[in-house]
Amino acid sequence: MFIINLKMNSEIQPSSYRDNTGEISLKELLLKAKQWWLYLKSKWIAIALAGVIGCIGGFMYAKTKKVVYTATTTFVLEEENGNSGMGSLAGLASMAGVDIENGGGIFQGENIIELYKSRRMVTQTLLTPVQLEGKSILLIDRYIDF
């Protein structure tokens, strides 16, 4: 553990450079910067050693840390004909941000917005070939032309 002595030499800063308003003159600022530079220069071995130890520690941490992968998913629950168990399903769906309480079905209301958020679904849909006027084109091409 390094102990840094921050005791500064008061002879470098005569009191004549200071005024009573709490402001600092440019000369005093430059003297203070020079004083700090000389102090840091005198402690270059400790600074270099701390830098090397930090680099080695950071490298070892990066090599031993396991990679964490994060994934997100979107799902939609479809409403059954009967109302059995709908209270718990509606609660589960609302926690996931899906609204199934109105009887509109899977492709109504908030459900369709959640489906639009799925990158895989949008990609597969836009890259689906369709027959239009006797030609097979991708939906993305039709969307661009539209």
Query: pLDDT grade, residue 43 (50/70/90)?
Result: very high
pLDDT over 60 (residue 134): yes
Residue at 124: amino acid letter: Q
Q: What are phi and psi of 137, to 5 degrees?
A: -130, 160
Tens of pLDDT, residue by residue over 110-121, are: 666 766 777 777
What pLDDT is recorded for position 10? 47
Query: pLDDT grade, residue 1 (50/70/90)?
Result: very low
138 forms beta bridges with: 129
Asked if 118 and 105 touch (Cβ cutoff 8 Å), the reply is: no
Query: pLDDT grade, residue 86 (50/70/90)?
Result: low
Which residue ranges make up each domain of the chain? 86-145
What pLDDT is recorded for position 34? 96
What is d(CA 145, CA 66) in angstroms, rounded to the nearest whole number? 47
User: Is the model's pTM score more than 0.85?
Assistant: no
pLDDT over 50 (residue 36): yes
**Mean pLDDT for the stretch of residues 44-61:** 96
Give the list of residues 6+ apart from residue 40 with CB closer than 8 angstroms, or none.
Answer: 47
Q: How far is CA 81 from the centre of its chain?
A: 43
53 vs 88, residue with greater confidence: 53
Asked if 97 and 104 touch (Cβ cutoff 8 Å), the reply is: no
Mean pLDDT of the chain: 75
